[in-house]
Amino acid sequence: MSRCVPLTTLVEQVAREQDRALDDVAPIAAARARFERYAVRRARREPWVLAACVAAGALAAGSLLLWYQVRPLGYETERLEVQPVDSANVLRSHASEGAVRFSDGSGLQVGADATVRIESVNAHGAVVRLDHGSLLASVVHTRHSEWTFLAGPFEVEIIGTSFELTWDARDSTLNVSVREGAIRVSGCSVGSRMYAGQRATLRCVAGQPEMNLSAVPPSPSSASESAPPSQPVPSPESRPSRLSASGPRQAPPQPEATDAASAPEPADAGTSSWREHAAAGRMKDAYAAAARDGFEKECGSASARDLLDLADGALLSGRVDHATFALMQTRSKHAGTAAASTAAYKLGRIAFDQRGALGDARAWFQAYLQEAPAGTLAREAAGRLIEIDLKTGNQASAKDRAKDYLQRWPQGPHAQLARKLLEP
């Protein structure tokens, strides 16, 4: 660029000017006096005032809780045609996926060309019927949850939180894939409990059930495509042991006991604690120190921020399995926090960049956007989703995403790709 502005000296001059102007515009003494008043007032808050505030807060919270307990869940739809039929709402998706978001945080991703019927909604869940096509449900599970999914003669009772359903009415075939937790499938004289990682194909032929249950995904590659948004992804080393597991419920993969011994040990890791290294921004050293002390144990006592740091360090050290473990810990131990959402984004990056598992990556990026639609990584997640759609040949969805992207970030890093996609 021949006439580009030399940032080198421009910023210095601007910074100098700013520094000269600051004391006139924002005299520090005035700000200090104001803050001092605040700090002193805060320290002088009488205990009875605090007690009264706590009591009033508790009363308000109680009323609010009661209200929440009886109020039916609300929901909103995206990219779905909504048609009220009797007391139900029929939701139809067309060429691209649609979504339903419930006020308790639960959500449905409705596959392309699918029809879903919200038959009833109460304070603790809903009755959802899949008339045709596929849906991915992520249900926020509580003790009082009452979610029921129906497809043909089958009924799926929610014990866990995340699963995928595909219903083909033509040959009465239901495909179920449980991503997290557990469900109970019944109907057509069949009743079976399924756990995370299991898939089943159920058919109902002349009232007789046919059920084909696979304990685990058949191969590492398909496992990576189907791995759930909130289920640990097995490390390459741990996959054989998963495949040989005999019980239906599989323990989440843990880093192997020998990991600490085989972890890289930078020269300057020394004997400093990993937290000191992390505080100084030396993530690789932080990871090496944590691995030396027992990575799994250290993750157990780490804060959400620490876990993200450890995941960064593990990634920099080439330990995708440990990074995944730390991020999954963030998701499970700090669910609902910003850190958990960040972990979802990072898991998407790992799936996309390290494992080439586009299905996983899509699920993680979508999870991030669902949890933090205005988050600091929303732009990157949205851009990656366009790339994934393109790589998987989902042109229609890519175009939809490209439109949304350009509306929100017309100058973003994926804007050029999005414009190209939308060219006639």
Site residues (CB under 8 A) for other proteins? 1, 3-19, 21-22, 24-28, 30-32, 34-36, 38-40, 42-43, 275, 279, 281, 283, 303, 305-306, 312, 338, 342, 346, 376-377, 379-380, 409, 411-413
The residue (of 39 and 251) whose beta carbon lies closer to other proteins is 39
In this structure, the strands spanning 107-110 and 125-138 are antiparallel
The residue (of 4 and 85) whose beta carbon lies closer to other proteins is 4
Task: Single out the residue of 150, 146, 112 nearest to residue 129, CA to CA.
Answer: 150
Residue 344 CB contacts under 8 Å (≥ 6 apart), including other chains: 229, 331, 364, 365, 367, 368, 371
Nearest-approach distance from CB 259 to other proteins, in angstroms: 22
Q: Cβ of 326: how many Cβ atoms within 10 Å? A: 30
3-state secondary structure of 264: coil
Nearest-approach distance from CB 370 to other proteins, in angstroms: 18
The residue (of 180 and 371) whose beta carbon lies closer to other proteins is 371
Nearest-approach distance from CB 261 to other proteins, in angstroms: 27
The residue (of 5 and 206) whose beta carbon lies closer to other proteins is 5
Q: Compute CA distances 298 → 13, 293, 310, 329, 362, whole Å.
A: 46, 7, 9, 11, 30
10 Å CB burial of residue 386 (0-12, 13-18, 19+) is buried
Nearest-approach distance from CB 311 to other proteins, in angstroms: 9
DSSP state of 257: T
Is 407:416 a contact under the CB 8 Å cutoff?
no
Nearest-approach distance from CB 24 to other proteins, in angstroms: 7
The residue (of 27 and 72) whose beta carbon lies closer to other proteins is 27
Residue 357 and residue 222: Cα distance in Å, rounded?
A: 9
The residue (of 13 and 244) whose beta carbon lies closer to other proteins is 13
Residue 199 and residue 403: Cα distance in Å, rounded?
A: 35
Nearest-approach distance from CB 312 to other proteins, in angstroms: 6
342, HSE (Cβ side, Cα atoms, 13 Å): 15
Nearest-approach distance from CB 15 to other proteins, in angstroms: 6
3-state secondary structure of 29: helix
Is 401:411 a contact under the CB 8 Å cutoff?
no
Nearest-approach distance from CB 31 to other proteins, in angstroms: 5
Nearest-approach distance from CB 25 to other proteins, in angstroms: 5
Residue 167 and residue 137: Cα distance in Å, rounded?
A: 14
The residue (of 112 and 406) whose beta carbon lies closer to other proteins is 406
The residue (of 24 and 171) whose beta carbon lies closer to other proteins is 24
Residues making up the chain, counted from first to last: 424
Residue 123 and residue 164: Cα distance in Å, rounded?
A: 23
The residue (of 16 and 144) whose beta carbon lies closer to other proteins is 16
